[in-house]
Amino acid sequence: MFIYKLITKYLLPTKKSLSASFIALLSLLVTSTVVWLLLVFLSVTRGIETNWLKKLTSVHAPLRVYPTKAYYDSLYYKADAFGENEKKTLREKWEESDSEKKNQPDLVKELYWTLQDLEKTGSLHFQDYECSPALLRLQLLRKQSTSQISQMSYAVSFPQKNPTLSSILLPPSSNDLAYVVSTLRSKEALERFFLHARIEKGWLKKGSGFSWKLLEKGSYPCLCKKNGSIEQIILQKEVGSFSGFEKATLVIAKRSYVKIGEKICDLSPKTMLFWGQNAPCQIVVDQTSFQEATTVYDLRFFATTSFNGTVFSIPVFYQALDQVEFFARTTFHKKPKTAPLWAYQVQNLWHLPQGPDGATQAVILPKSYQKSHVFLGDQGHFSFIGSSFSSAQEMQLPLYVAGFYDPGMIPIGHRCIFTSQEITETIMGSSAHLSLDTAAQNGLFVWSDLHKVDPLKREIQKRLQEKGLTKYWHVETFREYPFAKELLAQFQSDRTLFMIVGIIMIVVACSNIVSMLLVLVKEKRREIAILRSLGASKTSIGAVFGLVGMILGALGSVVGTLFAIITLRYLDSFIAMLSWLQGKKAFQAAFFGDSFTYTLSADAAVFLLILTPVASLLAGLIPAIKASRMNPSKILRS
């Protein structure tokens, strides 16, 4: 121990060893920077992949089970051709009575029973799905114009049991709700809307009128226009742009009047007051006004606002309101007797509503439709080719937009439209509709923890094999989805590539450590010779220099990791600053997500915290070997 203390005392850089100290500092800086950049990049890449996988499995589930060709070739499936429905879905097969069971194992019920047994253990949730191609047509009826959107889409049955559905469904926006209420044309629809939605706040429009009798006793500054008698009274303190008006005082008392200068003019019961500017207010609907209302413009509202320190409530119509902000309730403890006009949740189970007419089926669109100015409440239809007795003809199913969802970065995601099983089964039952591959057409979505998907797949396959059903069902994880596996492979390739680049960068960074130690060995050759003469072994001398290199690498790793943690914590701020500097978004939300708040990748941190000190130790071996081979007598004589 004494010899190492003595060695350290002699070998530590001092003020006289400025070159070695400078190179040591530079080595530490380079190593820290490399570790910082690699950790940030690898952590962000891991975060992007995690977010993408969450969205992928939220829409399409992390595992799915679907029929193989053997199922469609089996007598069990083909026997339906002699019945009323020649193309029964899995759900229809599951719900048919035992009396209809064929003289062979019930392929669908055995599969459902298998998954139900696993569901009881809490390891999964499952639901059948149908997917049918159809042409979506939406009628956009606006005040200024009328337009139509047509797009070939995939009608997918609503994944009601999806435990992660809440993370992708977008809550109804205030603009959506304002549009919905403006399209309603019946008392029942209006009551249904305001039963589950409320107006949080809004503004009284400039020029809105009301009776002066609604004001409490007191004095109010106002503007008045008089021509023999009082024509208009505007509640506003300054004249501003109101030409022909004079400043006045409105007095509400036993005798109500307007004082203009020294003149006093009594108020008539019919005299109206007007707002001189938009005024913020709290708004509540008058429940008694529903009796004779057919549109929202027939309803009365109570607007509570203040003027000159006095708070009062006045009845107004919807036309007198501006910038109205709505709030919709989407979560219920028990199923409401009257459902809202948007998707709603009852005890973690989501439901699709019916349209305002009580018959139109609802759909949930990808959020990309919002960019085309589609609102909640827009209506349209699915168009598909169906077969009749004589020929194939176009059929239409009316629909109602009940919400939007975030499909993530999935090529097929922006074409998937969630709708009721009645619609998907109707389209699938058409013999003339476009065909999909068996995986996409009908199957079962299985939701589970991403880390448990592979063991779960093996367990399902094992149980199906015990029942002799393996050839009828294909079990597939998200890593095998055609639209996902290429991107997942790209993520893996990117990580591998940057790991290789990281190793190269660390090796380059460690070259500075080699340079620093070589300079240190040259400056300390006299001390090395003295220590060797005092009995220090070659191994001891070499170990000190190797240890110095390792300490520099470890210190650089720790500093770089700390900076990486700070950077990741405030990554959104860094990205916002970068976007501001270049005048546009630095990263597209469709790929990177809406938020960049990622955590440090544990795998990358462990990898770099081990690799960097080891590489630094190896870098110190060259100077260590050189120092240990020095001839002390030759050095002392010189």
Structure tokens at 252: 């509400």
Q: Which helix (DSSP H) or strand (DSSP E) does residue 229 occupy?
A: strand 229-235
Mode of pairing for the β-strands spanning 361-366 and 392-405: parallel
Burial of residue 553 (CB within 10 Å: 0-12, 13-18, 19+) is: buried
Residue of higher predicted confidence among 314 and 176: 176
Can you list the alpha helix ranges (DSSP code H) found in 524-593?
Answer: 525-533, 538-569, 571-582, 589-592
Burial of residue 97 (CB within 10 Å: 0-12, 13-18, 19+) is: exposed
Angle, nearest 10°, between helix axes 538-569 and 571-582?
70
SS (H, E, C) 617-635: HHHCHHHHHHHHCCCHHHH
Inform me whether the pLDDT recorded for 632 exceeds 70.
no
Q: Produce one character per residue of 568-590: b if its CB has 16 or more CB atoms within 10 Å, e if not.
A: beebeeebeeeeeeeeeeeeeee
CA atoms within 13 A on the CB side of 432: 13
Structure tokens at 399: 């629909």
Paired residues of 135 in beta bridges: 152, 383
Structure tokens at 114: 């298998």
- DSSP code string of 435-487: P--HHHHEEEEEE--GGGHHHHHHHHHHHHHHTT-GGGEEEEEGGG-TTTHHH
Residue of higher predicted confidence among 49 and 630: 49
Inform me whether the pLDDT recorded for 536 exceeds 80.
no
Render pLDDT for 380-432 as a digit per residue (tens, 0 to 9): 999 888 766 566 778 889 999 999 998 876 555 567 899 998 888 888 777 54
pTM, two decimal places = 0.76
CA 571-572-574 angle, 5° bins:
65
Three-state DSSP state, 134: strand
- DSSP code string of 394-405: EEEEEEEEEEEE
Percent of the chain with pLDDT over 90: 22
Residues 6 or more apart whose CB falls under 8 angstroms from that of 597 comprise: 568, 569, 571, 572
Burial of residue 423 (CB within 10 Å: 0-12, 13-18, 19+) is: buried
Q: Which of 242-246, 565-569, 624-628 has the lowest mean pLDDT?
A: 624-628
Three-state DSSP state, 156: strand
Render pLDDT for 462-511 as a digit per residue (tens, 0 to 9): 999 999 899 999 999 988 887 777 777 777 787 788 778 877 877 777 77
pLDDT (average), residues 263-289: 87
Nearest to 33 by CA among 565, 561, 568: 561
Residues 6 or more apart whose CB falls under 8 angstroms from that of 108 comprise: 90, 93, 94
Render pLDDT for 179-216 as a digit per residue (tens, 0 to 9): 999 999 999 999 999 999 999 889 988 888 888 887 87
The answer to whether 80 and 92 have CB atoms below 8 angstroms apart is: no
Render pLDDT for 143-172 as a digit per residue (tens, 0 to 9): 777 888 998 888 899 998 888 888 889 999
Percent of the chain with pLDDT over 70: 81
Burial of residue 400 (CB within 10 Å: 0-12, 13-18, 19+) is: buried
Alpha-carbon distances, residue 338 vs 347, 353, 355, 402, 537 (angstroms): 17, 10, 12, 15, 90
Local confidence band at 457 (pLDDT 50, 70, 90 cut-offs): very high
Cα first-last separation, the chain: 30
Alpha-carbon distances, residue 192 vs 188, 189, 510 (angstroms): 6, 5, 70
Alpha-carbon distances, residue 121 vs 124, 125, 160, 189, 625 (angstroms): 8, 10, 20, 43, 62
The domain ranges of the chain are: 2-56+487-637, 63-167+333-447, 187-327
Q: Which helix (DSSP H) or strand (DSSP E) does residue 49 occupy?
A: helix 18-60
